[in-house]
Amino acid sequence: MKLRSFSSLQIALGVSVAVHAVLLTVRFVDPQAFNRVFQDTPLEVILVNARSNAHPDKALAIAQASLAGGGQADQGRITSPLPSSVLSDNGDSLEDELQKKLQALKQQQTMLLAQVRKQLAALPVPDPKQPNLTHDQVVREEKRRQLLKQLAEIERRISLDNSRPRKRYISPSTREEVYALYYDRLRHAIEDKGTENFPTFGGKKLYGELTMVVTVNHDGRLISTAIAVSSGNRKLDRRAEAIARNAAPFGRFSKAMRSQADQIVVVSRFKFTRDDTLETRVTAP
């Protein structure tokens, strides 16, 4: 009955307004383009433990709260659960980098030695029958004298380097099986000796931690010990060094070790625990 009170024109206008309102709420898009949005820019779902009032300009992930910026990454967010190769390789590459530098220095010495010898060979031999030397001959003889002096110094350094024992520093990044096995035997020998002869003074046991540098020769002899970081108790430091000395010898190097080093240097953390045991672990130099 109420519809009859409206004229046909009013009903038509009302229907037109309703249809236009519905059409304005509908958005037509290309289906393929709509799919490419999710194919080209996938968003991961993550949980964040902070929020900010600022919204990110370009979201990198779906989260339960807005978080603009943050984190320690310079650009973006890591996409792998594995640790950064740069960070994980720092410790591993330190020792290798040192070895590479030493090899490079030896190569430079060899090249410089060959260069000096070549320059000496290129200089003409002075004529002993000619008593008076020309200016050019005097200059050449002075250059010869300087080259001979330089040659003698290079040969002296090479001879000195060759006479020194080759040392290998055992660090947490040492991966070679031969070194790892040898250090494991060394560690067990020292720990057993320290637990068996736990340090005491005045009838009281000494507890604490210290860092010691241990140098072992290729025949297993302990060459030297040095306290790098003291426990704060000189008596405990001296007892720890005595334990390391009494635990030697540690056995001869294998052929694989001997081909690379004459001695190994181990920086180790000694911990005399309340359980009356000695625990050791290798630390970075």
pLDDT, tens digit (0-9, with 9 covering 90-100), for 29-70: 555 554 554 454 454 555 555 555 665 655 555 555 555 555
Tally the domains of the chain.
3
Of the residues 21, 49, 78, the one at which a domain ends: 78
Q: Are residues 67 and 104 in the same domain?
A: no
Residue 86 lies in a domain: no
Q: Are residues 277 and 178 in the same domain?
A: yes
pLDDT in tens, 169-208: 887 766 567 788 899 999 999 999 999 999 999 999 999 9
Q: Are residues 148 and 186 in the same domain?
A: no
Of the residues 128, 163, 198, the one at which a domain ends: 163
Q: Are residues 178 and 255 in the same domain?
A: yes
Please, what sign has the CA dihedral across residues 148, 154, 158, 160? positive
How many other C-beta atoms lie within 10 A of the C-beta of residue 261? 18
The domain in which residue 176 lies consists of 167-282
Rounded alpha-carbon distances, angstroms, from residue 106 to 9, 13, 109, 154, 165: 102, 96, 5, 11, 15
Residue 60 lies in a domain: yes
Identity (one letter) of the amino acid at 11?
I
Q: Are residues 101 and 175 in the same domain?
A: no
Q: How many Å apart are CA 15 and CA 39, to the nearest integer?
A: 41
Q: Under a CB-based contact definition with an 8 Å cutoff, are residues 168 and 263 in contact? A: yes
CA dihedral 182, 187, 190, 194 (to 10 degrees): -170
Q: Are residues 159 and 171 in the same domain?
A: no
Residue 18 lies in a domain: yes
Q: Are residues 63 and 31 in the same domain?
A: yes
pLDDT in tens, 90-119: 444 555 666 667 667 777 777 887 888 888
Q: How many Å apart are CA 18 and CA 25, to the nearest integer?
A: 11
Helix segments in the chain, DSSP class H: 8-24, 31-40, 85-122, 135-163, 177-196, 234-247, 255-258
Of the residues 27, 48, 78, the one at which a domain ends: 78
Single pTM value for the model = 0.50
